[in-house]
Chain A
Amino acid sequence: MGLQSAQSPGHPDRSALTSGRESAFHPVECQVTWWDNGSMASVSGNAAQGHDSPAVTIRDLFIRRGRTVVFDGLSLQIPRGQITGLLGPSGCGKTTLMRAVVGVQKIHGGTVEVLGEPAGARALRSLVAYDTQTASVYDDLTVRQNLNYFARIVGADREATERVAHEVGMTSNLRSLVANLSGGQRSRVSLAVALLGDPELIVLDEPTVGLDPTLRQELWMLFRSLAQRGITVLVTSHVMDEALHCDRLLLMREGKIIADTTPTGLLKDTGTTNPDAAFLELIARSEQRLEPGHGKHAAQQESS
């Protein structure tokens, strides 16, 4: 509770959004919704901010990389105009899922629908922006040259360069060679590239890794302002504390969504005060669920 009230003043819209979300989840037995068809229906009935359809709908996704099966029948939806956080430990499939949404990942079964089109469709290339986990910018160009190049590619104007540099706090480094920047600065340049153009969906793979707390805070404020402009923001992180900045949370482990919830719902349901503990609790529950004899018992505990 302490965390929740500490964070509400910074995000006046949060309480409204959260309460809306919670009410949608009441029919289900707990705040943390285990993914099944029932909860899918409750999300789609709850499409946010005037949009009828979710930004992303994934059905029965099957992906293998090499011999490893990354996803075996994954289904989920991501609402429009909100910050959705995809959280989970390294190697759980976050990046593969991001790549599938952007349409650069080969899929072996199921469908990924983004803004009403199949992921990767031509029409989506100007509507979906993607920032990969490692900074995808040219080391041997200056910050300005990088931004100007990508601006020309996505058809943005020159002012866009100044705007995005300002948004990620890199205005004073525009003339620096990217190779000479720190890791955090490089990833901010890469993030700035994703902000060029006029995307409706921004997919950010671990954008806050390696940044100090002040910068992280500023970036989350930026993501918030994007969402307020109606842009759907999909962010991954393996740092559970970042969960508290999101509107929606998808918690992933070993290629499965183990919870689809809100920050408040996550803490309230697990009876924990920090996201790390909540995640551990969820893992413990998901393991109990896999054992048939314990399933009923676990459900009773949750509803009590």
Chain B
Amino acid sequence: MADSTYGNLIKNGLWGNNQALVALLGLCPLLAVTNTAINGLGLGIATLLVLTLSNITVSLIRNVVPEEVRLPIFVLVIASFVTAVELSMNAYFYELYKVLGIFIPLIVTNCAIIGRAEAFASKNNVLRSTVDALAMGVGFTLVLATLGAIREIIGMGTLFSQAHLMFGDAARGFTITLGDDFQGMLLAILPPGAFIGLGLLIALKNILDQRATRAKIATARSGVDASGAQPSSVG
């Protein structure tokens, strides 16, 4: 496999094989809860926790699970951790728990988690599985929070509103407002805004990747043409 080093694992999780932007997994919570940055961040962290714990467990039991029943067992593992996370959020972040509602139990069905369990954790040792889960989870969380922030700014003209749901009362001052007469574009908060926003984020990622590839080709060429001749055309 190409992603043999830990550096590659991290790079893949955050960028190259980002679960939201490249694999397009877990789109249901991604599109449904990202109407504010804090909601996105909250669900992202919950997903990150479940992903890490389930990856570690699946990796630990990978040699004793019979091939034929591995999927039901993975789902059982994931469901247990989701229940644990749900109960903890109910206890410690009750307001955020109420806002995210059904999407916390639905983490069980997030394809990104079962995907990593099946594709990575069931074939790799605990340490590598942990790093993979952390990288993938952070990558997913970043997309959720970014999409939430974009939709919140365009739709309501605020950023980090209701931060106290997550960081306690001290965070009430975190909210940034874009001016009082800002008329939010309602569409951004409604479901179509999530689809359009995600599409634009994917497009942005593809543009950055293309630029990087072109720059790489250009440096390679200029290395070849170091004798002085200008490359006739680039890209």
| A-B interaction | no
Which residues on B are within 8 Å of A, measured CB to CB?
A: none
